[in-house]
Structure 1
Amino acid sequence: MKDYAALLIATALFAFLSPGLVFQLPGKHRPVDFLNMKTSVVSMLLHTVIYGLLLFLFLIVLNLHIYA
């Protein structure tokens, strides 16, 4: 396997978009909470949609590839 772009992009987006790790949208008490480590079902669904859209953008629309 010479193309690692999909793996690297998916892993980085998953780490960055984990609800509550860096930010949570929507938060418990504010529209955006930072570093609170508390999630809700709405937050998980919204982060899943954002993750899917960004992954689609990077891998399909922009066609990014990294060859080793």
Structure 2
Amino acid sequence: MNDWAAPIIATALFAFLSPGLVFQMPGKDRPVDFLNMKTSVVSMILHTVLYGLLLILFLVILNIHLYA
């Protein structure tokens, strides 16, 4: 039996938190830009930190499992 929670959560978070795809923090002209498809180094670092924190939350703290 394989535990599919980790790869599914990691893939979803990676897609959702890609800078510029859905939102970008910090934006060019304001704190949050939506759907601008542009990025900066600061935005990439902030999204990386958020990705890591959410991944730790779901996989370590909440200990979510999905068996298929």
**TM-score, normalising length: structure 1:** 0.98
Equivalent pairs: percent with the same residue?
81
* Superposed displacement of residue 21, structure 1: 0.2
- State the alpha-carbon separation in 2 of the partners of residues 4 and 11 from structure 1: 11
Q: Which residue in 1 is equivalent to 2:26?
A: 26
Q: Which runs of 5+ in 1 are unaligned?
A: none
* Superposed displacement of residue 2, structure 1: 0.8
**Per-residue displacement from partner, 1:7-54 (whole Å, max 9, x unpaired)?**
000000000000000000000011000000110000000000000000
Superposition RMSD in Å: 0.7
Q: Which residue in 1 is equivalent to 2:46?
A: 46
**TM-score, normalising length: structure 2:** 0.98
Q: Which runs of 5+ in 2 are unaligned?
A: none
> Deviating runs (4+, > 2 A) in structure 1?
none
